[in-house]
Amino acid sequence: MNRNIEVTSIAMSLDSAETEETRKSAVSARRSPRSDLTAKGEPFLWGFGGALALGLMMVFGFLVLILWNGLITFYPKPIKVLTLSDGSRLAGEPFRSELYRPSPQQLQNMSERAREIVAADEGLARRTLYRTGNFDLYNEDFRWVSAFEVAKVSTPSNVFFIERMEWGPFIGFIKHVDLAGEVQTGSVLEDRALGEALKEASTRRDRIRRIERENIGAINHRMNSERLALRRLGIKKGEGSEAYREAARTYAFRNAEMQAQYNLLSEEARSVKEQDARYTVTLVDVQGKEKTLLLSQIVRLYAANDLSLPNKLGVFFSRWKEFLTAEPREANTEGGVLPAIFGTFAMTILMAIAVAPFGVMTALYLREYARQGKLVSMVRICVNNLAGVPSIVYGVFGLGFFAYIVGGTIDQVFYPERLPNPTFGTGGLLWASLTLALLTVPVVIVATEEALAAVPQSMREGSLACGASKWQTIKYIVLPRAMPGIMTGLILAMARGAGEVAPLMLVGVVKIAPELPIDQFFPFIHFERSFMHLGFHIFDVGFQSRNSEAGKPMVFVTTLLLISLVAMMNAMAIMIRNRLKRKFLVGHF
């Protein structure tokens, strides 16, 4: 018996030793560096942090690139006059430079010194792109010049950079100025006299523009309105009716009066143009070619190599002012983008006004009223899928439904006298806004549902317990506390809608629409008109202009403006959202 007890004790000791050894092995395994690293998730943490850092670097780098290239676009650059090895001369602004490998034919035509330079750089040569301007003389406004072609470089102080209403900039010298018969040569021409002459010429240009666009335009509008009213009466009562004949006689009398006013304004415009034609300037380029143009055709001129820092800043801010307040010219590569700014802002605001009520009402019904089941789940799946539909599909739908069906019906019912010329039956600001509202409504629905779900259920129950109805609970309790989340969805919708281009190309945006959809005639704001958009302006200048190099600076500066405009609108919405958050920052009860 004692022997059995001893055997049992030994077995228990061995089992205890094995258990202790197993425990020590497990602890040792848990404490191994490799196991700790995996268990704590350091590799995943490093990956997440690295991905975040990479994303921030990409976004920050993109913004710095846009900001730098956008800001320096309007800063005046020096003009270099090059004497080439073949004896010809060239003047222009250095645009950019690069290294390239000359072709065998180019190497054969090089001088011995040029070959040595190229050979010393491992067969590579440097070339610089110069903005030469003078498109009407050279049929090009940019030219590549290799370093080995240049024999001499100079920066004369009397070379001018002249911005014109047409044909782009002119780079050269002022030969003489004719001020209504008083000819002044470049050697005796005073800067103050030239500046005053340019201001007077600008005043004449604005006066001609005001007469032709505003005064004559108002008469043309009244004449067209009278004609359409007469045609409408003919459609309604027939052209053989007595009412139509009486209206026709009245129309003839009024039309004669308006034609007399038209003739007077035309004569006034012709008189101002004759006076303006007496003020001219004769320019000459570095090759000796002359060009005479009206002073009123000059937007800005300055001696590029003789500018002090205050003068450079003056040119810089003057260009920014023109860019923000003027109309585009030279196929959108020069001038301003005021119509595009207005079109983008107006379209985004109309889109927000249209998308907010529909998105919020849909989300309210799905979250607060609809019985949760398969049908509601299917609707939510469809809403989420709509967010992934390509935007061009919405553009096709907007063109077919809004423009052709809804707009065509409006034209037939309310504007039959204007047919076959459509009024609402074509692309316009209103249809573009509604199309983008359809595009962004899934974003608002999803964000609103999430915001409604985040409101504590205890608040609903407390309101109902106090005797409030379901709608009163939603109106006074749920919606105010969900409003910050709803504003978040609206901000995302505005950001996406403001940057969309593809659907707008089908439902209203155009390359050139210099006149704003606001005028002095009822209803004053014309939502049926086509409009310009900053996003489409970037696409057009970058890919549709006659010279991509000339459009590249405008692409950067317009991109900077679009980002700033979207950021400004989003900042206003974020301020409202933050105020609502502070107002309804309460806990559960």
3-state secondary structure 103-154: CHHHHHHCCHHHHHHHHHCCCCEEEEEEECCCHHHHCCCEEEEEHHHEEEEE
pLDDT digits (tens, 9 = 90+) for 350-396: 999 999 998 999 999 988 888 888 888 898 888 888 878 888 999 99
Q: Is residue 289 part of a domain?
A: no
pTM above 0.75, yes or no: yes
Q: Supply the pLDDT for residue 170.
A: 93
Q: Is residue 65 part of a domain?
A: no
Residues 6+ apart with CB under 8 A from 552: 542
Q: How confident is the model at residue 437 (pLDDT cuts 50, 70, 90)?
A: very high
Residues 6+ apart with CB under 8 A from 457: none
pLDDT at 66 over 60: yes
Residues 6+ apart with CB under 8 A from 468: 476, 477
Q: Supply the pLDDT for residue 272.
A: 93
Q: What's the average model confidence in pLDDT over 259-263?
A: 93
Q: Is residue 61 part of a domain?
A: no
374 and 423 belong to one structural domain: yes
Q: Is residue 467 part of a domain?
A: yes
390 and 487 belong to one structural domain: yes
Q: Supply the pLDDT for residue 120.
A: 72
Q: Is residue 27 part of a domain?
A: no
Q: What's the average model confidence in pLDDT over 403-411?
A: 92
Phi first, then psi: give them for residue 495, nearest 5 degrees: -65, -40
For the beta carbon of residue 416, count every other beta carbon within 10 angstroms: 13
243 and 350 belong to one structural domain: no
96 and 198 belong to one structural domain: no
> Closest by alpha carbon to 426, among 398, 406, 395, 404?
404
434 and 561 belong to one structural domain: yes
Higher pLDDT, 436 or 5: 436
Q: Is residue 176 part of a domain?
A: no
167 and 187 belong to one structural domain: no
User: Do 458 and 589 contact (CB within 8 A), yes or no?
Assistant: yes
431 and 540 belong to one structural domain: yes
Q: Supply the pLDDT for residue 1.
A: 47
Q: How confident is the model at residue 36 (pLDDT cuts 50, 70, 90)?
A: low
Which residue, 232, 258, 277, sits at the end of a domain?
A: 277
Structure tokens at 371: 């019985």
Higher pLDDT, 130 or 184: 130
> Closest by alpha carbon to 436, among 511, 357, 352?
352
Q: What distance in Å separates the CA atoms of residue 263 and residue 266, rounded to the nearest whole number?
A: 5
Burial class (CB in 10 A: 0-12, 13-18, 19+), 190: exposed
Q: What distance in Å separates the CA atoms of residue 415 and residue 392, rounded to the nearest whole number?
A: 30
pLDDT digits (tens, 9 = 90+) for 175-208: 888 888 888 776 555 667 788 888 999 999 999 9
User: Do 92 and 131 contact (CB within 8 A), yes or no?
Assistant: yes
**CATH classification at residue 565:** 1.10.3720.10
Q: What distance in Å separates the CA atoms of residue 417 and residue 441, rounded to the nearest whole number?
A: 36
User: Domains in the chain: how many in total?
Assistant: 3
Structure tokens at 414: 């309310």
167 and 207 belong to one structural domain: no
Q: Is residue 336 part of a domain?
A: no
Question: What percent of the chain has a predicted confidence (pLDDT) above 90?
Answer: 28
The boundaries of the domain holding residue 166 are 80-171
Q: Is residue 71 part of a domain?
A: no
155 and 192 belong to one structural domain: no
Residues 6+ apart with CB under 8 A from 574: 487, 491
